[in-house]
Each structure stands twice: as structure tokens, then as C-alpha cells.
Structure 1
Amino acid sequence: MKYINRYLHKKILVLGLAKSGVSAASLLHKLGAFVTVNDKKPLSENPEAQGLLEQGIKVICGDHPIELLDEGFELIVKNPGIPYYNPMIKGAIEKGIPVITEVELAYQISEAPFIGITGTNGKTTTTTLIYEMLNAGYKNPLIAGNIGTVASDVAQKAGEHNTIVIELSSFQLMGIDAFKPKVAILTNIYDAHLDYHGTKEEYINAKAMITKNQTEDDYFIYNADQEIVARIAESTRAKTIPFSTAQVLNDGIYVKDGAVFFNGEQIIHTSDIALPGEHNLENILSAVAAAKLAGVNNDAIFRVLNTFKGVKHRLQFVCELNGRKFYNDSKATNILATTKALAAFKEPVILLAGGLDRGNEFDELVPSLKNVKVLITFGQTAEKLERAGRMAGIKTILRVDNVESAVPQAYKQSEQGDVILLSPACASWDQYKTFEVRGDIFIEAVHKLK
């Protein structure tokens, strides 16, 4: 890591803990800053804060006292999940205190270049594919961000011979200043996180931040089939690499005659790709482009695509039981993700869906439900999803308490040849701490059927 002096003897507030806050506080302390940590969780229930206290870092827990902002802080590092309308953040901005996220710190100390991936859907699969391809090509990748380890932890261990492959959310990107990936990828943009951003325009602007600081020496890989994304590409200074599943591109990556081509060179036949789903083809195209830019050979790329079957909780095949195939797509936290999951199957589907109610209806999902023979709902959105199911003409619609009780009910309603799919179309927070917890409970319930 680079031992920078810019934070030496500076007063810095780390707002909100979780993994990124702990990492940021420890790193800033190591760099000689006077760090104060503020977290809403009481100290007695906060082992992370207790650990920082033992390092000699000042810790204030239990609430976010606005008067803290009068203590002369020169910088705030906020947890990405804290929105900008939070009174502490609004107050800091009014006082002219810079606010960043931990990703910016990681960039400032890193000796390794970054490949950054963002978008509404497909980030995790794309990030994982790139990591696997670079690894197969002996390019010494490290994986960071929303997937894997906190970026500033990874950056402290990375050297010039490494490449950090990082998944980036819009929340993280809103808090960057100088962060500049060598290769940036924008997979797609759809309506999401409007409760955090307020407007779609702000959400789009946050995603566009991934290429804000790029120069002519960098690369921007983008979805040429989406007008919103293509417009962002028009304003970047980086070299642009478009990808498309619908059109042949002269200087990009695309699908033609059942094969993937990069700048006119055939990479792999789509029939040799193990990862299911038309939507995953977009993820594959952007990942292959990034791997080629990193110097990975076609044999290594082929080996990964020929064997990689998906990421946990992302259309993950769990098992086959008495002719029924179970898939865990708990990461499908919006309508679009569930639409794409349903499009991956020609077999009859028993769909398990429901979760946090963000105020939207599910009319957009109706056309994708034509292959669904049974709909099983749970959570806050159960009634809304049942309405969509009736609109789609689904004859069997059942409501259960939770994911665990949905699984045996789904099996009871199923026949040989059916797909039983958890693809909730909603966030998990009404019943489960994370989508990972929700997915793990589904997997455990499936294995109990055995």
C-alpha cells in the first residue's frame, strides 16, 4: 500500500460502521489521523466499535448527535448505506465538510489498478467472471467491494502486480472524489434504489460516476443496447468498448451466428457456455472484454465460461429432487431481475416471491409469468404479487409465512419436470437481514426435503 500523508493529524469522522466503517477507521488511524467513529448501535451490542476502542480510536455509539459536527472535522467517511438526506450528512455538506465513502480511501492507498463494475443488475456475476478469468490467466487478481472483502482491506495488501476487481454500488460511487478504474464497466441501468436517490436522474448520475475521472489511457465497457448507458458513454474521456447481444459492432464485443466475438475475433460458441440465462450473456460479454483488455488468452476465457455455472444466490442451481430442479435467485431484489430469471426457463415454474414493500406494483412482471403454474407469496408484498398472478391467469396462488414454509408447499404443488424458483422481485429486509440470509434459508429448506 501507499503510505500517504494527506490524513496525518487530520480530524476525521467515520459515520456508520459495518465492515467498511471498521476498515476505514483502522486504516485512517494507521495513517496518523485523529479518528472519531460514530455508530447508531449501542456500544454494548457493538463488537466492531469495541474493537476500535481497543485500538485507541474514539468511539461514540447509540445515536448520531448532530453537535458532533461542531468538533472541527476535516473529512467524513460515511457508510454507503447512509443516505445523503441523513441530518448528519446534510449538516456536514452545509458546513463544507467533504464526505466520501471507503472506496475512495482504497483507491488513494492502492498500488494496484482497478477494474470497476457497476449497474443495476449483473454486477456480482460480471465481477466474479472477471476475477475467475484473470485468475485462470495468471494475472494475480484480487476481488473487492460488495462481493468479497472490503476494498480498503484489499488495497492494503495489493501490489503493483495485482489487479483489484471491484463491484461498486451507486451508494459507493456517490462518495468518490479521485477514484479512477483502469477499466470501468456499466452493465445496465433500470429503476432501482429510488427510495435512497429520490429521482432516477440522481441514480443515473451516481452510476455515471464510475467513468467521471477516467482519461484517454483508460477503458469504459458499456451496454450499447441501452440508450441511457450509451449516452453516458458519449461523455466519457476513456476509450469506449461497447457490448451488445442484439447488434454486430465494429469495435466491441457482440454475439453473431451463435458465437461471441471481440473486435472480430471469435472467442467461444454460446453452446459451450455453462452459465444459463439470456441475461447472463450480457454479463459474459462485458467480462470477456475486460479479460481481453487485461491480456487474458482465449483458452483461459474458454475454460472459465465452459465451467462457471453461476454465483450463489444468483440463479444458483441448488439440486434436483425427484425430477424437480430447485434454483436460488434470492439476489433478484427487483422486478427486472425476476423477469430475467423467469426468461431463463422453458419448463413449468413454481415461483416463490415476495418481500419488502417499496410502494411499487408488479404489473410489469405479468407478461413474464406466462410459464408460472403456481405462485407462492410471502412478506409485505404478498397481496400485490397475488394481484399480478391473477392478472397473468395463474390458477394456483398460495400465501405462506416465509421462505422456509414456501419450500415444502412448492414441492407439494410440483410435478416431475418442474422448476421451483426462489426469485422474490423484492428486497429481503421485511423478514431477513440480507438477501444472502434469505437464500441460505431457501437452500436449507430444500435440503430438508431430502
Structure 2
Amino acid sequence: MKSSVKFKHKKVLVLGLAKSGVTAASLLHKLDAFVTVNDQKPLSENPAAQGLLQEGIKVITGSHPIELMDEGFQYVIKNPGIPYTNPLIQKALEKGIPVLTEVELAYLISEADMIGITGTNGKTTTTTLLFEMLADGGQNPLIAGNIGTVASEVAQEAGPHNKMVVELSSFQLMGIEDFRPHIAIITNLYEAHLDYHGSLHDYWQAKVNITKNQTEDDFLIINDDQTHLIEAVAHTKAQVVPFSTTKEVLDGAYIKEDAIYFKDEFIVSLDDIVLPGAHNLENILSAVAACKLYDVPNESIKKVLSVFAGVKHRTQFVKEVEGRKFYNDSKATNSLATKSALNAFAGPTILLAGGLDRGNDFDDLIPYMKNVSTLIVFGETAQKLAETGRKAGIKSIITVDNVEKAVPVAYEHSRAGDVILLSPACASWDQYRTFEERGDMFIDAVHML
């Protein structure tokens, strides 16, 4: 771990706990900052805050008192989930106090090269694929960030012989000042999280923050099939490495003659890749490009791609039962993700969908439902999705109470050769705490068959 003096003897407010806040507060304390932690949950119900208190860190819980911002803080480190409309954040910005996220801390202390991965879709799959390829290629990678392990925690253990592979959300990237990955990847840019960012421009700007501090010694891997993405990163100083599923990009990664190439070098045949879905080719190409920049052997890339079947809850193959293949795509919390999942399968598909009602309709799914033989709906959006199914000409539409009930019903209405796909197109919060819980319920129900 590198020593950083950026926060030494500075007054820093850590706003919001969870994993990132706890790690950030402890790390700042080690870096000799004067740390105050503020969390909404009362101290009696807040073991994380109690632990920090025992470390000698000042803790204020139970509310977010606006008067805190009169205490002369020089930095605010906020939980990524806290919106910028929060009164304390608004007050900090009015006072010109930098509002950062813990990935900034991770960058400042990491002795390892950082590879930052962002985009609307495909971040987790790309991050996991790249980690596995680097590991097989002897690069000693560490995995961190929005994928589940706090980056500033992993960075404390990272040495110069490691590579830190970090999945980054737009929420995290809004809060950076010096953060500079040696390799940055933007998988794609679509419309998302407008309730948080306020506009498409602000959302995209948060994503392209990943390259704002890169120099000519760094690399930016981007989706060359998206003109708006190319325009959004036109200011970058990094060396741009494109990837494309539709054309040859001779200075990057692309598909030619049913194989993946990098800069005119054959890497792997598409027949050797087990990860389903055309959309996953984007993720694979971006991971391959990063690997080749680190001279990972083609044998390692091929080895991983020949066994990597997907990340849990993301078009994850669960099991085959009497010729029916079950796939868990619970991470599909919007129509865009469900479109990609439906596009991944060419044969008869039974779609399980539904969840939290955010006020949108689902008619944009209609062109992608041509292979859906039965639609099973649940949750708050059940009737909306049923109406979309009727418009798509689906004859068999069934409403059930939840995912667990949907699985045996799907099996009853299927035949050998069918795909049974959970891809809800909705958030899970009407019935489940997280999309992971929803996916696990689906997996359990499949195994019960």
C-alpha cells in the first residue's frame, strides 16, 4: 500500500456507511485524516458505526444534520448510493468542498496497475472474464469495485506485481478527482439511471470520467460500434483501442471469419466460446483487448473462453432438466438487458418476467419476443407485461404469484429443446430485497424439479 498525504491532517466527512463507507473511514484514519462518519441508522442498530467508534473515529448517527457542513470539512467521501440531491451534498458543493467516492482512495494507495471497467451493460461479465484471463496468464490480478469487493480494501493489499481489475458504476465515477486507471474500458453507453443523474448527458459524462485523467501512457478500450461513445471520449489523451462486432478495426479487437482477432492476430475461434449471446461478444472483445495489452498468451484466453459460461444472475446457465435448459438472468432489471437475453437464444423460449413497476411500458420488447412461446408474468408489472405479450402475438400467457411459482409452471408448459429464461425486465424490490435473492429463488426452484 502506498502512503498518500492527500488527506493527512485534513478534516474529512464520510457520509453513509455500508461496506464502502466503513472501509473508507478506517483507511482515512490510517492516513492520519481527521475523520467524522455520518450515517442515517441509529447507533444502537448500527454495528458498523459502533466498530468505527471503537477505532477512535468520530461517529454521528440517526440523521444527517445540515449543521455538519459548518464544521470546516475539506473533503466529503460519500456512499455511491447517496444522491447528489442530499442536502448535505448540496451544501458541500455550494461551499466548494470536493465530494468523492472511495475508489479515489483506492487509486491513491494502490501499488498495482488499475484496469477500470464501466458501461451501461456488460461490466460484471467483462470484469470477471478479464480477471480469469489475467489469472491464467500469470498476471496476479485482484478483483474489486462495484462487483462486490470494496476497491479501497483490495488496494491496501495490492502490490506492484498485481493488476487491479475494478468494476465502476457511474455513481462511483462522479466522485473522482485524481483517479487514473492505466487501462479503462467502456463496454457501451445506453440510457439508464436518469432518476439519479437527471439527464442522459450527465449520465454519459459520469461514465466517460473514467478517462479524464488518463495520459498518453494509458489505454482506453471502447465500443467502436457506438458513434455517440466515440464522440463522448473525443477529448481523451489515452491511446484508444477499439473493439467491434460488426467490422474489422485493425488497431483493436474484432470478429473475422467466425473468429476473434486482435490487430490482425488470430486469437480464438467463436466455436470455442461457450458464453451465450451476441451481446457477450462485446464483453469478450473488450476483455481480449485488455489482455493483449498485457501480453497474456492466446492459450490462456482460449482456455477461459472455452469454460466460462457466465456470471451468476447474468444469463447464467443453471441446469438442464429433461431437455429443457434453464437460464437465470435476474440481473436484467430493465428492458434493454432483457432484449439482449432474448437475442441470445434462437429456439423456442419460455420467458419469466415481472417485478417493480417504475411507470414504463414494455412495448420495446415486442420485436425481441418472436421466439417466446409462453410468457409467465409476476409482480407489480404482471399485467403490463401480459399486455405486451398479447401485442407480440404470444398465445400462452400465464400470471403467477412469484418466481418460485413460475418455475414449475414453465416446466409444465415446456418441451424438450426449450429454453426457460428468467429475465424480468424489472427491478426486484416489489417482492425481493435484491436481484440476487430473486435469482437464487429461481435457482432453488429449478433444482427442486
Length-normalised TM-score, structure 1: 0.98
Mark the CA change 1:173 to 1:440 in structure 2 (over 3 Å): closer, same or farther.
Answer: same
| Aligned equivalents of 1:397, 1:39: Cα separation in 2 | 46
> Which stretch shifts more, 375-384 or 299-308?
375-384
Partner of 2:326: 326
Amino acid at match of 2:44: S
TM-fit CA distance, 1:426: 1.5
Cα contact 2:15–2:78 (8 A) shared by 1: yes
What does 1:114-263 align with in structure 2 at a 5 Å threshold?
114-263=114-263
User: Are 1:401 and 2:420 matched, yes or no?
Assistant: no
> How many percent identity over aligned positions?
68
Amino acid at match of 2:407: V
> Which stretch shifts more, 96-105 or 32-41?
32-41
Amino acid at match of 2:225: D
In structure 2, the residue corresponding to 1:165 is in which secondary structure? strand
Partner of 1:290: 290
Deviations 1:146-181 (A, max 9, x none): 114100001000011111000000000000111011
| Aligned equivalents of 2:421, 2:156: Cα separation in 1 | 40
RMSD between aligned residues: 1.2
TM-fit CA distance, 1:340: 0.9
Amino acid at match of 1:413: H
Amino acid at match of 1:59: V
In structure 2, the residue corresponding to 1:235 is in which secondary structure? coil
Amino acid at match of 2:210: I
Unaligned runs of at least 5 residues, structure 2: none
What does 1:359-374 align with in structure 2 at a 5 Å threshold?
359-374=359-374
User: Are 1:343 and 2:339 matched, yes or no?
Assistant: no
Aligned residues: 449
Partner of 1:7: 7
In structure 1, the residue corresponding to 2:139 is in which secondary structure? coil
What does 1:348-359 align with in structure 2 at a 5 Å threshold?
348-359=348-359
| Aligned equivalents of 1:186, 1:329: Cα separation in 2 | 22
TM-fit CA distance, 1:70: 1.4
TM-fit CA distance, 1:356: 2.1
Deviations 1:15-59 (A, max 9, x none): 111111111011011111121111112222222122212212122
Partner of 2:89: 89
> Which stretch shifts more, 286-295 or 33-42?
33-42
> Which stretch shifts more, 33-42 or 160-169?
33-42
Length-normalised TM-score, structure 2: 0.98
Partner of 1:383: 383
Amino acid at match of 2:53: L
Partner of 1:431: 431
Cα contact 1:373–1:395 (8 A) shared by 2: yes
| Aligned equivalents of 1:313, 1:326: Cα separation in 2 | 12
Partner of 2:78: 78
Cα contact 1:40–1:61 (8 A) shared by 2: yes
Cα contact 1:220–1:233 (8 A) shared by 2: no
| Aligned equivalents of 2:195, 2:287: Cα separation in 1 | 30
| Aligned equivalents of 1:352, 1:45: Cα separation in 2 | 37
Cα contact 2:250–2:262 (8 A) shared by 1: no
Runs of 4+ in structure 1 over 4 Å off = none
TM-fit CA distance, 1:399: 2.0
Partner of 1:414: 414
Partner of 1:98: 98
Amino acid at match of 2:349: V
Unaligned runs of at least 5 residues, structure 1: none
> Which stretch shifts more, 161-170 or 61-70?
61-70
TM-fit CA distance, 1:292: 0.5
TM-fit CA distance, 1:200: 0.6
